[in-house]
Structure 1
Amino acid sequence: EKIDKFNQYWHITITPYEKEIEPNVPPVDDVLESFKYLSKRLGKENVTLRYDPIFINEEYTLEKHIESFEYMLNSLSGYTTEAIISFIDLYEKTKRNFPKAREVTKDERLKLGKEFAKIGKKNNITIKTCVEGTELDKFGIDSSGCMTKEVIERAINKNLNIPKQKARNGECYCLLNNDIGEYNTCNHGCLYCYANSNKRLVKRNLKLHDPKSPILIGEIKEDDIIIERKQESCISNEKTKQTRLF
């Protein structure tokens, strides 16, 4: 109820990985039910599935991913219009924390893309990629961006007055570029995590978390510099200011 006054657009990540990869992530079926709850409350345009990162090994084979993706989309049919996929990026911290991970080959990406597109079409769900180039476009997969101006306009059913932006990293046209999170603060413990450097640092930061503090980790100190960001509505022809996320 506290956030009902905000315009909202959610990305919800669900993967097929077990506890040895994602130690503290809730079971798949629990997250699917939470997804459906949000969809019923906000609308299917306002919640999108993220199936990422995708990696391949002896347990999580191409067949396993295809089976898992189909299970999820069959479950979410009618509850969302989009599903976003991306393949694992092996940053140095990822290699260190998940040494058994390897990049997905082009042949594997093409096989998954072809099958995922079929599953999406069957469930009337558009499959999109996140910064993966255009190699899967031939299967009907959308590579235009996962949180573009058009996506958000459709989700909140309002026009946005936003200048055209340059692509970040040459590919990403997503609008949001201010993250309210913080590195080394997630306790899910996923081996592939792009944000956590090591468990020790995460534990230290979590001990400093105070839910009553205005910042995520610790308290504001006397010598901290607080810069208040100017917030303006991007909604076209809006005459009255409202509290909003976008």
Structure 2
Amino acid sequence: MSQQIISASRRTDIPAFYTDWFLNRLREGFADVLHPYTRKWLQVSLKPEDMGAIVFWSKNYAPLLPKLDSIEKTTRNLFFHFTITGNRELELRTPDVRDAVKDYIHIATRYSPDHIIWRFDPICITDKLPFDVYEDRFIQIAELLRGHARECIISFAHPYGKALRNIAKYTDHSFIDPEQRRKKAFADHLAGIAKHYGIRLSACCSDYLLSDSVHKAACIDGRKLSLLFGTALDTRTAASRRECGCTKSIDIGAYDTCGHGCGYCYANTDQEKAMRASAKQETERPSLGTDPRMTAHNPENNNR
């Protein structure tokens, strides 16, 4: 029987803001998750016998790195997505590029370059951040990661209403959504640069970018992780959105809890609320970002 893959998390940055909460969840052996659309509660087992792998997503792994030994007491099957763009004009509270690269190399050295993916996304074109700025930053980061990164995943910022409102409210930038042919040409150009540094370029949920040099991303790939960890993981396709190439996983995060304050954010409806949530650090609660009186332990909550 295949084991489940835990995603931590597409909805918020657990390594940056909730490492201690996550460690407590591992010790307790479960996390409670409120489904963002059905509003149903789910209790997710984090016991070693049920959990085949953990996939982390973060812009800042510094708080997590000292705790890796503790996490490995539960499982060593760890995989990492590390977003490094150098885009601090819009990613207001992210680390300096060189600090982030240092942490990336630490992870790639402790495990292997196959255990970590560099994400250069989203590429958010604005009146103050044209294509050439992103090209320069891509080259800078690729050079710093030379020999340590084997895959880079890109995407372009999507004009979700939530994202457009955040850009207008929290930045002095004007969002620009270039034509697909322009974005595709830029992706092909980045792929050529990436190849020079021994990096494979993939595109997330953006099939129009695909070409001989730009591949379809599977950010959570049960087949790849099964081979990497030598265990049978769930390999059923389970797209999280249109054109997603991922296999099945269970996400234990919550929206409106990330404290990075990114101008283009689609995970936070209310940035101030998210900042307060990330500052509270309520490490003993079974869930993130929800009313502490409502947990999966009360079945009545699933009928509300």
TM-score class, shorter-chain normalisation, is 0.7 to 0.9
Q: Output one character per residue of 1:62-114: Cα deviation in whole Å (capped at 9) or x when no partner.
A: 11111111111111121121000001011111111113222232232122112
Specify the alignment match of 2:287 in structure 1.
215
Distance 1:200 1:116, change over 3 A: same
CA contact (8 A) 1:130 1:146 kept: yes
1:9 aligns with 2:79: yes
CA distance, structure 2, for counterparts of residue 23 and residue 211 of structure 1: 24
CA 1:134–1:22 in structure 2 vs 1: closer, same or farther (change >3 Å)? Answer: closer
**What is the identity, as a one-letter code, of the residue corresponding to 2:121?**
D
Alpha-carbon distance change, 163 to 143 in structure 1, aligned in 2, over 3 angstroms: closer
> Does the C-alpha gap of structure 1 residues 219 and 152 become closer, same or farther in structure 2, counting only changes over 3 Å?
same
Select which of 93, 102, 126 maps to 1:24.
Answer: 93
Residue 244 of structure 1 corresponds to which residue in structure 2?
none
1:46 aligns to what? 115
- Contact (CA 8 Å) 2:127, 2:175: kept in 1 or not? no
- The structure-2 alpha-carbon separation of the partners of 1:220 and 1:44, relative to structure 1 and needing over 3 Å to count, comes to same
Matched, 1:112 2:186: yes
Aligned length: 224
CA contact (8 A) 1:84 1:127 kept: yes
1:202 deviates by: 1.8
1:150 correspondence with 2:229:
no
Return 99-108 or 43-52, whichever deviates more.
99-108
Query: Aligned AA for 2:104?
Result: F
Structure 1 residue 149, shift from structure 2 partner: 2.4
Measure, in 2, the Cα distance between the counterparts of 1:201 and 1:72. 32
TM-score, normalization by structure 2: 0.67
* Greater relative contact order (CA < 8 Å, ≥ 6 in sequence): 2
Listed as ranges, the gaps of 5+ residues in structure 2 are 1-68, 169-173, 300-304
Counterpart Cα distance in 1 of 2:187 and 2:218: 16
Structure 1 residue ranges without an equivalent (≥5): 229-246
| Paired position in structure 1 for 2:197 | 123
Aligned to 1:60: 129
Counterpart position of 1:226: 297
The AA in structure 2 aligned to 1:151 is K
- 1:3-57 CA-partner distances (Å, limit 9, x unpaired): 2332011000011312x41221111111111000011001110010011110222
The reply on whether 1:85 has 2:154 as its aligned counterpart is yes
- Counting only pairs closer than 5 Å after superposition, residues 169-184 of structure 1 correspond to structure 2 as 169-184=241-256
Q: How high is the sequence identity, in percent, across the aligned residues?
A: 25
CA contact (8 A) 2:216 2:245 kept: no
Q: Is 1:103 aligned with 2:177?
A: yes
Tell me, yes or no, if the aligned pair for 2:159 and 2:177 is still in contact at 8 Å.
yes
2:30 aligned residue: none
Q: Which structure has more strand as a fraction of its residues?
A: 2
- Give the Cα–Cα distance (whole angstroms) in 2 for the partners of residues 142 and 101 of structure 1: 26
Displacement after TM superposition at 1:227 (Å):
8.0
Structure 2 residue matching 1:3: 3-state secondary structure: helix
Q: Assess, with a 3 A threshold, how the Cα gap between structure 1 residues 79 and 192 changes in structure 2: closer, same or farther.
A: same
Q: Aligned Cα RMSD in Å?
A: 2.4
